[in-house]
Amino acid sequence: MNQRFLLIIFCAVLQTTFLSAQDQGVFSGGFQSNANFFIRDSLIGAANIPQYDFQLFGAEAWLDLGYSYKGYRVGVRFDLFNNSNLFDPNNSYSDQGIGKWYIQKQMEKLGIQVGYVYNQIGSGIIYRAYEERPQLIDNALVGAQVTYSINDNWVATGFSGRQRNLFSTWPSIVKGGKLEGFISLNTGTEEAPKFINFAPGIGILNRTLDDETMNKVIGIVKNYVGDERFKPEYNAYAFTLYNTMTFGPISWFVEGAYKTEDTFRDPFALKTEINGAQTIGRYQKLSGNVVYTSLSYAKNKLGITLEGKRTENFNFRADPTLTRNFGQINFLPPMNRQNTYRLTTRYSPATQDLSEMAVQADVKYRFSKAFNINLNFSNITDLDGDLQLYREFYVQGQYKYKRLWQLIAGLQRQEYNQEIYEVKPGVPILENYVAFTDFLYKFTRKKSVRAELQYMIVGDDEKAGFKQDYGDWAFGLIEFNIPHWSFVVSDMYNLDPGKNAPSDSNGEKLDIHYPRVDVFYTNKSNRYGLSYVKQVEGIVCTGGICRLEPAFSGFKFSINSTF
């Protein structure tokens, strides 16, 4: 549908709503913009893409507008991309238009919405329509959704449409629904009640391929030989059952999902060529399943969370031939600690959708109001347990002295499979240690200074004769905050360069500094940022969804505003 026509419809609805509301509704909005000024630095790899070679500038902007009145909600978002590297870090993308619009109406038990719809079933294992703007993930369902409140405890939801692909949609049709409820049982007495609560749910999803996509898949698999050849299916179905049980300090979530036979690409499966030779990577048609559970306990000074997940052949996309983060219909919960410090996040594992067995344990104990400790362990392998993908040990202590100062210190130990996560064949499991401290001192409620020190030691690559990957790192940061203003200066120093670190013309590894300077100004609901950034290549993850970011050199300017 033409975007101009959609905008006319939206404006007409908005104008009608304004007139009937007599200025009694609620109007809201938000604006976000990023501008990048690229400075070529071939030494660190910030080169050989259009932005560094001749464009020199790139920008993105989003303007959200919404209005609500008496059960009506309408909204629209304008998206802009000018020479942007957000869509593809190794290329340039420019376009603009309506990135989202919606119209909602709640009528007693019935709720309807058309336009761009965000929702999920359970924890998202079979379906999640969501946005992660830092990675330009926005897979909203462009279609219609209906919800119906059966009673105070049970709600049914149904939806149908196509998945968003920037300013268009992927051609396959996605439809599904869920039924969610709440049950509370008193296992005690009327005088001393003890409630055990259940929040069960059931969901189903169907994806139907279009003829063009089906012909593309057939064109690929028709060249397969022997048992590797298969007949693709137009329809794939996914089912899930889930429940959250709470009883006193205990909360237990469990979800089991199954997907019927579906086409997907396995990058590690062998493919036999017609001449008998074999290569790595081919399409398969298999069913899939996921089991995920999380058990937590929190009482007094102790908090414990245990998680487990088993994943087998659960790649689910709007188009089976898509790669990276494109066209993903579902979301698989990550099974590693979501770290925050610069060096503790340098090696983060992407969720594996074909073969993953993962466990995680997190323990927090508060010795006093001033001191607490956090311990975390995660272990990720393939389904057979023969291939180690990721392992992390993490300990962190925090001490607060009144409201004057705070000290955080910790140690991280990682084992990270670069061959799987970063597609670097033949490299050994990367092993490292990261020690870190974070000190905050408050002069007043609005004036403070904060400092970080981090140090990473990585193992040796005996075959290469160097440290693994980029080698050892040191990171330092100091941040000063006063009313409205924040100033941050940091440096990431490759003090013991490794195998992949930059070299000079004689092949000698270079110990390079990667400095960064940030200035932020906040006024009411508006925040402005100006930064000089020199950044090394690395993995960037958001909730288990990761991608490899190339090196960056230049200036960044940002605006965030809500109204």
Name the token pair of 62: 């989003």
Distance CA 197, CA 161 (A): 34
- What are residue 375's DSSP bridge partners? 363, 395
Is 29 within a domain? no
Determine which helix (DSSP H) or strand (DSSP E) holds 473, and give its type and residue range: strand 471-482
So what's the pLDDT on residue 188? 81
**Do 166 and 281 fall within a single domain?**
yes
**Do 280 and 419 fall within a single domain?**
no
pLDDT tens digits, one per residue of 488-535:
999 999 999 999 999 988 889 999 999 999 999 999 999 999 999 999
**Do 429 and 397 fall within a single domain?**
yes
**Do 284 and 369 fall within a single domain?**
no
So what's the pLDDT on residue 21? 47
So what's the pLDDT on residue 53? 93
Is 51 within a domain? no
Identify the CA nearest to 319 among candidates 356, 264, 273.
Answer: 264
**Do 270 and 288 fall within a single domain?**
yes
Out of 496, 511, 526, pick the residue that ends a domain: 511
Is 439 within a domain? yes
Out of 270, 304, 333, pick the residue that ends a domain: 333
The CATH number given to whatever domain includes residue 376 is 2.40.160
Three-state DSSP class for residue 215: helix
Which DSSP letter does residue 424 get? -
Distance CA 7, CA 390 (A): 47
What are the C-alpha distances in Å from 44 to residues 63, 507, 509?
34, 14, 12
**Do 123 and 198 fall within a single domain?**
yes
Other beta carbons less than 10 A from residue 465's beta carbon: 8
So what's the pLDDT on residue 34? 96
Is 300 within a domain? yes
Is 384 within a domain? yes
- What are residue 199's DSSP bridge partners? 244
Phi/psi-derived region of residue 214, left when phi > 0, alpha when psi is between -120 and 50, beta in every other case: alpha
Name the stretches of the chain with pLDDT < 70.
1-23, 543-544
pLDDT tens digits, one per residue of 451-475:
999 999 999 988 778 899 999 999 9
Is 493 within a domain? yes
**Do 220 and 357 fall within a single domain?**
no
**Do 348 and 437 fall within a single domain?**
yes
Is 548 within a domain? no
- What are residue 70's DSSP bridge partners? none
Distance CA 165, CA 476 (A): 40
For the chain, how many structural domains are there in total? Answer: 2
Between β-strands 168-169 and 128-129, what pairing exists: parallel, antiparallel or unpaired? unpaired
Out of 305, 333, 361, pick the residue that ends a domain: 333
Mean pLDDT of the chain: 92
Half-sphere exposure (CA, 13 Å, Cβ side) for 346?
Answer: 29
**Do 117 and 158 fall within a single domain?**
yes
User: pTM of the entire structure?
Assistant: 0.90
**Do 283 and 364 fall within a single domain?**
no
Dump the DSSP string for 426-465: TPPPEEEEEEEEEEEEESSSS-EEEEEEEEEEE-EETTTT
Three-state DSSP class for residue 51: helix
**Do 374 and 399 fall within a single domain?**
yes
Segments forming the whole domain that contains residue 380: 336-511
Distance CA 379, CA 310 (A): 12
Is 313 within a domain? yes
Other beta carbons less than 10 A from residue 257's beta carbon: 28
Residues whose CB is less than 8 angstroms from the CB of residue 380 and which lie 6 or more positions away in sequence, other chains included: 335, 336, 349, 352, 356, 357, 358, 389, 390, 391
**Do 134 and 222 fall within a single domain?**
yes
Half-sphere exposure (CA, 13 Å, Cβ side) for 95?
Answer: 10
